[in-house]
Structure 1
C-alpha cells in the first residue's frame, strides 16, 4: 500500500506503506551491527575537586521537591 503525499511544491510523492517499511527493516536488520558499548569507569571522589555551585543553583535545587512527590 502506498500513500500519496504532497511535497509542498505541488508534486505528489509516493510513500511506502507501513507494511513495506517493516519488511524493509526486517530484511536489513541482520546487516546492521551495533558497536559494543564500554561503560566509562567511575571517577573516584578523590579526583573530584574544585567544584563550585553558584548560589542561584543551590536555591533552585533546595526549593525542588523530593523525587517522586
Structure 2
C-alpha cells in the first residue's frame, strides 16, 4: 500500500501501485524497522495449561472447518 502523505517531489506518485512501488516503499521504510531480540522461550508441556474452557458451539464450528479453507 502506498502512503501518499510521505511522498516527496523526487518520488513520483504511483496511484496504481505494483510490485516496484511496493519494493520502493519497503526500501524507504526499512531503516525504521528493528529486528526483535532473540526469542528464548521454551516450549510448555501440554499437561501444564489448565482451566481452559471452550464452548461446545465454538468447538463444533472449528471442527467443521476444513484444514486448508475452501
TM-score (norm 1): 0.44
Whose helix fraction is larger, Structure 1's or Structure 2's? 1
Report the structure, 1 or 2, having the larger strand content.
1
The higher radius of gyration belongs to: 1
Q: Which one has more relative contact order, counting CA pairs under 8 Å at least 6 apart?
A: 2
Query: TM-score, normalization: structure 2?
Result: 0.43
